[in-house]
Structure 1
Amino acid sequence: MSRWEPNARGRLEQAALELYTERGYEQTTVAEIAKRAGLTERTFFRHFADKREVLFAGAASLEELLVATVAELPESASPIDAVTAALEAAAAAFGERRAHARKRQTVITANAVLKERELIKLASLSAALADTLRGRGVGEPAASLAAEVGVAVFKVAFERWIEETNQRDFSHLIRESLAELKAVTAGT
């Protein structure tokens, strides 16, 4: 093993996803992930708190992107328009990562502990969005409702995006899911 090679974090993420896909989450150890990445366990723990977190490495960046997008919008933007803009920014950030997202989600769906962690991360996204909306002067319950709806739309669109075979882009699926939500709430 070399002492230093670039992109240790990315290599650990890739190695973990490969092993979780091949062997299953429960059957994979941190030592095996580190070995596959050509690194040490100590290096693994410099980057991740545990073997679950390697699958959620992008959660903080996603939250930062959503919050920054909402915060930078003109004050005239409605809460739902602000959340929609944040979701559009997130969709753009996912770009060409559909295959990776699909593999990652397969691993998460197969394990209750990982599903729980995913729900915690989604709740954190919702709380951060609601806090940002409140910081823009949006009162309650509007801030919390817009944030929760945004996360629900994100989740539904994401699931459709990774499952679809016709390769519509994530942004399109977000807009479509929002339109469906509006139709449901309008009673049409």
Structure 2
Amino acid sequence: MSKSERTRERLAGAALTLFERQGFEQTTVAQIAAAAGVTEMTFFRHFPAKHEVLFEDPYDALVADAVAAQPEDLDPLRRAVRGLRQAWSRVPEPDGDVVRRRVRIVAGTPALRGEMWRNNGETERLVAEQLIRDGARPLSAKVAAAAVLAAVTAALLEWSVSEDTPLGDAVLTALETVEGGRDE
């Protein structure tokens, strides 16, 4: 791990601890930087804004590619569900504790819920655009993408406050629910 990656990890860890202890809105960037042993400028080299510590989503391209790989004769909703399911199967289960802590902070901070939806908006846009490129009507594509992302978001929020469900199971349950309870 490079020095930059270690610094980013220290910053993220310090931020999570402070957010949990005193709340997201009450925590300053100066406090996070001090807890990580770096300057505020260093914080901003790694995260453009305080909330960015909580929103890391490197999977957008993977999701869009997985949707593109689905048979074009399927309806947009089924293509989106299967694409997301396929993308999920290709990524390793994330560190559940860190992800759960991040999502729990978002779930408990009303100001961050909107940011979560904005963050998901990029994935939703990419999925809808892929479906449209492959021949789906724009409204059908946008509704399918929105429904799938809303389901996954609901699963993440619910998972964050439950200790007994693995993240993968929560996501797959959400996708099965959107698809009408099918288990394929």
Q: Same fold (TM over 0.5)?
A: yes
Paired residues of 1:12 and 1:44 also in contact (CA < 8 A): yes
Extract unaligned runs of 5+ from structure 1: none
Instruction: Quote the residue 1:68 is aligned against.
Output: 65
Measure how far apart 1:94 and its partner are. 6.3
Extract unaligned runs of 5+ from structure 2: none
In structure 2, the CA distance between the partners of 1:5 and 1:160, relative to structure 1 (3 Å rule), is same
TM-score (norm 2): 0.80
Whether 1:171 aligns to 2:168 is yes
In structure 2, the CA distance between the partners of 1:111 and 1:81, relative to structure 1 (3 Å rule), is same
In structure 2, the CA distance between the partners of 1:39 and 1:64, relative to structure 1 (3 Å rule), is farther
TM-score (norm 1): 0.79
Give percent identity, aligned residues only.
29
SS in 2 for 1:26: coil
Measure how far apart 1:128 and its partner are. 2.0
Whether 1:136 aligns to 2:134 is yes
Measure how far apart 1:149 and its partner are. 1.2
Measure how far apart 1:30 and its partner are. 1.1
Deviations 1:5-63 (A, max 9, x none): 3412222222211111112112211122122222221111112221111211x13x132
Number of positions where the alignment pairs a residue of Structure 1 with one of Structure 2: 178
- 1-side partners of 2:67 and 2:125: how far apart? 13
In structure 2, the CA distance between the partners of 1:87 and 1:166, relative to structure 1 (3 Å rule), is same
Measure how far apart 1:96 and its partner are. 4.2
SS in 2 for 1:52: helix
SS in 1 for 2:3: coil
Deviations 1:52-110 (A, max 9, x none): 11211x13x13222223223445455423332234322476361422222211222233
Show the 5 A alignment for 1:12-31. 12-31=11-30
Over aligned residues, Cα RMSD in angstroms?
A: 2.6
- 2-side partners of 1:181 and 1:21: how far apart? 32
Instruction: Quote the residue 1:153 is aligned against.
Output: 151
- 2-side partners of 1:144 and 1:80: how far apart? 10
Show the 5 A alignment for 1:44-83. 44-56=43-55, 58-59=56-57, 61-83=58-80
Amino acid of the residue matched to residue 25 of structure 2?
Answer: E
In structure 2, the CA distance between the partners of 1:94 and 1:181, relative to structure 1 (3 Å rule), is same
In structure 2, the CA distance between the partners of 1:180 and 1:18, relative to structure 1 (3 Å rule), is same
Deviates more, 1:86-95 or 1:151-160: 86-95
Paired residues of 1:87 and 1:154 also in contact (CA < 8 A): no
